[in-house]
Amino acid sequence: MSYFQSGERIHLVDKKGRQYALTLKTGDLYQLSGHKIAHDDLIGKPDGSLVTLSGNKTMLALRPTFGDYVLKMPRGAQVLYPKDLALIPMWADVYPGARVFEAGTGSGALTMALLRAVGPRGLVVTYEAREDFARTAMTNIERYMGPVPNLIPLRRNAYEGISLLDDGLPFDRLVLDLPEPWQVVPHAAQALRSGGMYLSFVPTVPQVVQTVEALHRATVFGMVETFETLLRTWSIQGRSVRPDHRMVAHSGFITVARKIESGLWPAVLPGESLGEAADIHEVREDDER
Ligand SMILES: C[S@@+](CC[C@H](N)C(=O)[O-])C[C@H]1O[C@@H](n2cnc3c(N)ncnc32)[C@H](O)[C@@H]1O
């Protein structure tokens, strides 16, 4: 059994599923719309307990999942949604032990997803241009994950370049969530190992077009693919079974590419026809059947 301790962050969940975050502290009082509960009445309770606030308000007390934590943690920059956080480590093929470069750190949500994927034997180097965002991110990360010795957070501008670490080894994976990833593509071409994966996330079509063009121009990226994900939740109540009325209809586009030997893969630049690139794509689709 796992019990709540002073200093940890928990969520209280009401009957409508709304979540409220609080950090437990001996002697403190939690208040929600006039309903109160002493933190001391929560400390020592098992994860998943039903607790009663004043006015007989019953709530569920839980340690937040990673997705719940991210949605409620303090933000500097806009965080990625759990639907994208779940996909990015898969599509960037971030594996235990990998060396990953990330920019920008933002509020630290994606950094945590990458740290979870690389595990204790891996390494994440993350660049953030803004000091205040970098500080918020580190607080968020350490509050959820504890000390992270395999994270190297640097306050740097990724558009100006990517420095290798002292051992001079290239990165296995490169993951970008910043406004102009195309400015990082030439540096990615230098900093990624051959066979390494590039992934970037951008919210708009012009951004994704510029990114894909930059990848083709670099001549060392192949298997460039872009996609988005839609997650539609369902309401299932007795005989009323239907999709929920509301959903996150758009977050952004994910672009992935492999670092390859220069000149071996057909690049499709603006104004050119698909030609051989289209044939290769068809072969891949045939293989899947
Ligand atoms: C959308 S936020 C990233 C959010 C992050 N992925 C998360 O889930 O919390 C974009 C971040 O990129 C940072 N940024 C913008 N340009 C940058 C640059 N040239 N180098 C490093 N960071 C940059 C911004 O300050 C901002 O914090």
The model's pLDDT over 101-153, given as tens digits with 9 standing for 90+, comes to 999 999 999 999 999 999 999 999 999 999 999 999 999 999 999 999 999 99
- Rounded to whole angstroms, the Cα distance separating 187 from 154 reads 16
In a mutational test of the pocket of ligand 1, which residue from 139, 177, 199, 204 has the highest number of ligand atoms less than 8 Å from its CB?
A: 177
The model's pLDDT over 200-238, given as tens digits with 9 standing for 90+, comes to 999 999 999 999 999 999 999 999 999 999 999 999 999
In a mutational test of the pocket of ligand 1, which residue from 128, 132, 143, 175 has the highest number of ligand atoms less than 8 Å from its CB?
A: 128
Q: Is 252 in the pocket of ligand 1 (CB under 6 A)?
A: no
Q: Measured at the alpha carbon of residue 135, what is the angle toward residues 130 and 138, in degrees to the nearest 5? A: 125
- Quote the pLDDT of residue 137: 98
Q: Cα(289) to centroid of ligand 1, in Å?
A: 39
Q: Is 22 in the pocket of ligand 1 (CB under 6 A)?
A: no
In a mutational test of the pocket of ligand 1, which residue from 66, 151, 178 has the highest number of ligand atoms less than 8 Å from its CB?
A: 178
Residue 8 pLDDT greater than 60, yes or no: yes
CA 206 to chain centre: 22
Amino acid, single-letter form, for residue 76: G
- Rounded to whole angstroms, the Cα distance separating 51 from 20 reads 14
93-96 contacts: CB < 8 A, separation 24 or more? Answer: 93/173, 93/197, 94/118, 94/122, 94/173, 94/175, 95/122, 95/172, 96/121, 96/122
Query: For ligand 1, atom 3, which residue shows the shortest CA distance?
Result: 106
Q: Measured at the alpha carbon of residue 91, what is the angle toward residues 90 and 93, in degrees to the nearest 5? A: 65
- Rounded to whole angstroms, the Cα distance separating 102 from 221 reads 18
pTM, full prediction: 0.92
Amino acid, single-letter form, for residue 256: V
The model's pLDDT over 182-209, given as tens digits with 9 standing for 90+, comes to 999 999 999 999 999 999 999 999 999 9
| Domains of the chain with CATH codes | 9-64 (3.10.330.20), 69-231+243-269 (3.40.50.150)
Mean pLDDT to the nearest integer, 28-32: 98
